[in-house]
Structure 1
Amino acid sequence: MTRGADSEVGRLRTVMLHRPGPELGRLTPRNNDQLLFDGIPWLGRAQEEHDAFAQALRDRDVEVLYLVDLLVETLSDPEARASIIDGTTASLRLGDGLRDHLRRVMTDLAPDVLAHTLTAGLRNDEVKSFRSIVTSLLPREDFLIEPLPNLLFTRDSSVWLRGHVAVTSLAMPARARETQLTGLIYEHHPRFADVPRVHGAHLEHVEGGDVLLMAPGTIAVGVGERTTPAGFERFARQSLTDGLAHTVLAVPIAQERATMHLDTIVTMVDVDTVVMYPNMADTLRAHAVTLEGDQLVVAPERSFFTAAAEAMGIETLHQIDTGLDPVTAEREQWDDGNNTLAIGPRLAVAYERNVQTNARLEEHGIEVVAISGSELGSGRGGPRCMSCPMERD
């Protein structure tokens, strides 16, 4: 078995999750929009739902790793600690005096306490032993270090390819520090010491929710609000040059309220089958990008399904619609009806509330592992968003 993945549906062996923690409790009516949540989730219930999700994976022989556990282990390395403290306190809004104070305090924290500060953030009124012009003039409730409630969606900050891991670059300012933490883990944790890395948090924007491993050698990347054309270009060149793909599909995404990443529109449930938001099926297009010598060759735009099937070497890429009518499809799209996580071919995790979508999947022979997500879904993400597959058959 090769570490990493070259498809969306190979048997899942290892996955990284993030159990909702104190950072989710930092959401308020004042900051939830800025931190990209539609509402304020009930933390206790969100944790129960997430624990059930993790257990459903373990019950099917999937190794579950937790991001914060890996981070705490990583922070035992002095070099890793110094690097992340410098990066976290680099904000110009802190001022020199407060920045130096925070660096001194954070340097002396135990790894688990430091991990808590890095993920849950630090408010101005929580700084008790130091006052400066900055702390005096900033509102007491302002965060000096912003919380990271979107860590829940581990898919976005890294993508595992065949034998490689891509650390992504998140477009929204509220999420920028997530890739700093993920990148730190991959650079300093001994479990990943020998894994080659591609892309990086400092490069053009690419988000993991836009990257679909359609088949060995074929990667589809959504290009829109979160992944930029420049980000796609660099990611495609790296993937093709390193032999991680022979074709990378650029898939323009028309932005709607209920679409953000490519995996909010289409995900895979079998080697030749996707679950699809039908309201966009006829308009989803793709450019096939290949490499000739050192030049990227961009094919004319075609139907996504035609371009994908050709690149995958199959006759037809079958689709299962998420709803029988446009209204149902739109409603279940809002509830992440097609943001499924494949545990293996024809075996997928989905939110239980998407009754019609799940019924459609089962009609087509897909076994659905239904999980509760009433609180988890408030950040607009489903099982695929909440999981980073690290190893698949």
Structure 2
Amino acid sequence: MVTAAVSSHTQPASFGVDSEVGALRAVMVHRPGPELDRLTPANAAGFLFAGVPDPARARDEHDAFTAALRDRGVEVLLLGDLLVEAIAHSGAARIQGIASAVHVGRLGARLAEELSRHLRGLPAPELGRILTAGITFDELPDIAVSAGGSLVRQMYTGAEFAIEPLPNLLYSRDSSFWVRERFAISSLARRARVREASLVDLIYAHHPRFMGARRAYESRVAPVEGGDVLLLAPGVVAVGVGERTTPAGAEALAESLLTDGLAHTVLAIPIERPGAFMHLGTMCTMVDVDAMVVHPAIRDGMSAFTIRSDDNGGVVASGARPFADAASDAMGIAGLRLIDPEIASATTSPGTWDDSSNTLAISPGVVVSYRHNADTNRRLVDAGVEIIEIDGAALDVGHGGPRCMSCPLARDPL
């Protein structure tokens, strides 16, 4: 297993992100673990996967991905390592992780109490594994349950989950994101993913590496997912509004960012084809300071509502305009270059999920892209963009590209 050199005694680094393309210095990713082995043809759709990926191949592909980042000088922090280190460092982290995983409504009060007691006594690596990979009723230890046993324990079949796995941890962009020097914990819309945010919250709150890091956007009143948030330029944040981030969530995020001075403009972008585009990041990603790869199925109709502070200390949203015009004005550039990915994605049925629009910039004009998007990669090269190709046939089964798999922690300012 490839591990990140992260010690619980490491002094906090300077974290902060003000764009999608500034030179990437540190990133948090999740190497696929035993949670991916939990997927079956019967449960994959419930966990939001298009099928069952080959876990060994997914791990090999992810190792190659992180190796490519390290080769370019990026510090790679593995979420699984950070989780275990936080639990080992802090009793409060242990309690928080267990509380988020053990649900009385599913297990009943007696079984939940006994399971929580058992988990509190586990070594940090074993507890970290259960919090990410889950545990079935068959795998429950022989813990005592008072007064004749637990009805829940007896009625659930052994292969059902007492604690569900989190295979979507692979897509670490969704559960948190950074805006300038602050981090935001997402409010995830799908039940299969809700607990991911609590684990990432645990890491930021209790791992010494993030000591002193400040939060942005603490509201959880409506869903906002990190995959819908793009930092177009310093002070300019785009938020996709669709099946994962709601209008109320986008408005609450905008109010928070504007009030805290983390942005001067927020663009709310309707995602007009729910199901075809899960997040804004599956529609488009920045590849240079003035260039974006945009799926041709939505390029011409893409619009944006502009949200700014008003004179009374509140915020106001203007009417929708063509996205490229609204973005260029907010970014203070003459024009935003829009590059089409491969045409096949637009002419086949929605959900081809090759993630040709989902690239990760590691510096201006240098991006990581899946090798299977050969036509898109050629188009980007023709536009002057350097491509670092990685294999991703197994990684892409869960509907996510290189950007989806990455939560940038530090980028050089533009």
Superposition TM-score tier, normalisation by shorter sequence: over 0.9
Is residue 177 of structure 2 the alignment partner of residue 159 of structure 1?
Answer: yes
Partners of 1:370 and 1:363 lie apart in 2 by 15
Is residue 238 of structure 2 the alignment partner of residue 220 of structure 1?
Answer: yes
Partners of 1:69 and 1:379 lie apart in 2 by 22
The count of aligned residue pairs is 393
Partners of 2:198 and 2:121 lie apart in 1 by 20
Residue matched to 2:330: 311
Residue matched to 1:185: 203
Is residue 124 of structure 2 the alignment partner of residue 99 of structure 1?
Answer: no
Q: 1:233 aligns with which of 251, 268, 273?
A: 251
Partners of 1:59 and 1:12 lie apart in 2 by 12
Asked whether the 8 Å contact 2:371–2:391 carries over to 1, the reply is yes
Asked whether the 8 Å contact 1:225–1:255 carries over to 2, the reply is no
Q: 1:75 aligns with which of 83, 87, 91?
A: 87
Query: In the TM superposition, what is the alpha-carbon distance from 1:338 to its structure 2 partner?
Result: 1.1
Partners of 2:123 and 2:156 lie apart in 1 by 28
RMSD of aligned Cα (Å): 1.6
Asked whether the 8 Å contact 1:17–1:386 carries over to 2, the reply is yes
Residue matched to 2:369: 350
Partners of 1:201 and 1:25 lie apart in 2 by 34
Residue matched to 2:32: 20
Which stretch shifts more, 366-375 or 190-199? 190-199
Asked whether the 8 Å contact 1:219–1:249 carries over to 2, the reply is yes
Identify if the C-alpha distance between structure 1 residues 281 and 138 changes in structure 2 by more than 3 Å, giving closer, same or farther: same
Identify if the C-alpha distance between structure 1 residues 373 and 325 changes in structure 2 by more than 3 Å, giving closer, same or farther: closer
Partners of 1:179 and 1:29 lie apart in 2 by 26
Is residue 321 of structure 2 the alignment partner of residue 302 of structure 1?
Answer: yes
Asked whether the 8 Å contact 2:133–2:164 carries over to 1, the reply is yes
Query: In the TM superposition, what is the alpha-carbon distance from 1:315 to its structure 2 partner?
Result: 1.0
Q: What are the equivalent positions in structure 2 for 1:273-352 lying under 5 Å apart?
A: 273-292=291-310, 293-324=312-343, 327=346, 334-352=353-371
Which stretch shifts more, 195-204 or 207-216? 195-204
Is residue 215 of structure 2 the alignment partner of residue 197 of structure 1?
Answer: yes
Q: 1:361 aligns with which of 367, 374, 380?
A: 380
Identity level (%): 51
Asked whether the 8 Å contact 2:241–2:271 carries over to 1, the reply is yes
Asked whether the 8 Å contact 1:350–1:369 carries over to 2, the reply is yes
Q: 1:380 aligns with which of 372, 388, 399?
A: 399
Amino acid at match of 1:72: V
Query: In the TM superposition, what is the alpha-carbon distance from 1:258 to its structure 2 partner?
Result: 3.0
Query: In the TM superposition, what is the alpha-carbon distance from 1:87 to its structure 2 partner?
Result: 2.2
Asked whether the 8 Å contact 1:332–1:354 carries over to 2, the reply is no
Query: In the TM superposition, what is the alpha-carbon distance from 1:283 to its structure 2 partner?
Result: 0.9
Partners of 1:108 and 1:2 lie apart in 2 by 34
Asked whether the 8 Å contact 2:275–2:350 carries over to 1, the reply is no
Partners of 2:348 and 2:74 lie apart in 1 by 31
Is residue 226 of structure 2 the alignment partner of residue 208 of structure 1?
Answer: yes
Asked whether the 8 Å contact 1:277–1:333 carries over to 2, the reply is no
Which stretch shifts more, 129-138 or 379-388? 129-138
Query: In the TM superposition, what is the alpha-carbon distance from 1:2 to its structure 2 partner?
Result: 5.5
Return 5+ residue gaps in structure 1 as ranges.
none
Partners of 2:166 and 2:359 lie apart in 1 by 23
Deviations 1:21-64 (A, max 9, x none): 10000001121110000111111110000000000000000000
Return 5+ residue gaps in structure 2 as ranges.
1-12, 144-148
Query: In the TM superposition, what is the alpha-carbon distance from 1:88 to its structure 2 partner?
Result: 1.6
Residue matched to 2:146: none
Is residue 283 of structure 2 the alignment partner of residue 265 of structure 1?
Answer: yes
Partners of 1:218 and 1:332 lie apart in 2 by 29
Query: In the TM superposition, what is the alpha-carbon distance from 1:256 to its structure 2 partner?
Result: 4.1
Asked whether the 8 Å contact 1:183–1:200 carries over to 2, the reply is no
Partners of 1:261 and 1:61 lie apart in 2 by 28
Deviations 1:332-354 (A, max 9, x none): 96200010000000000000001
Is residue 139 of structure 2 the alignment partner of residue 126 of structure 1?
Answer: yes
Partners of 2:169 and 2:28 lie apart in 1 by 11
Partners of 1:373 and 1:331 lie apart in 2 by 20
Partners of 1:348 and 1:330 lie apart in 2 by 27
Partners of 2:92 and 2:235 lie apart in 1 by 36
Partners of 2:164 and 2:266 lie apart in 1 by 35
Residue matched to 2:156: 138
Amino acid at match of 2:316: V
Identify if the C-alpha distance between structure 1 residues 384 and 43 changes in structure 2 by more than 3 Å, giving closer, same or farther: same
Query: In the TM superposition, what is the alpha-carbon distance from 1:82 to its structure 2 partner?
Result: 1.2
Asked whether the 8 Å contact 2:205–2:211 carries over to 1, the reply is yes
Amino acid at match of 1:154: S
Query: Match of 2:42, SS?
Result: coil
Asked whether the 8 Å contact 1:14–1:64 carries over to 2, the reply is yes
Residue matched to 2:7: none
Normalised to the residue count of structure 2, the TM-score between the two structures is 0.92
Amino acid at match of 2:341: T
Query: Match of 1:75, SS?
Result: helix
Query: In the TM superposition, what is the alpha-carbon distance from 1:199 to its structure 2 partner?
Result: 2.7
Residue matched to 1:45: 57
Residue matched to 1:4: 16
Residue matched to 2:78: 66
Which stretch shifts more, 157-166 or 190-199? 190-199
After the TM superposition, list the runs of 4 or more consecutive aligned residues in structure 1 that deviate by more than 3 angstroms. Answer: 200-203, 324-333
Query: In the TM superposition, what is the alpha-carbon distance from 1:229 to its structure 2 partner?
Result: 1.1
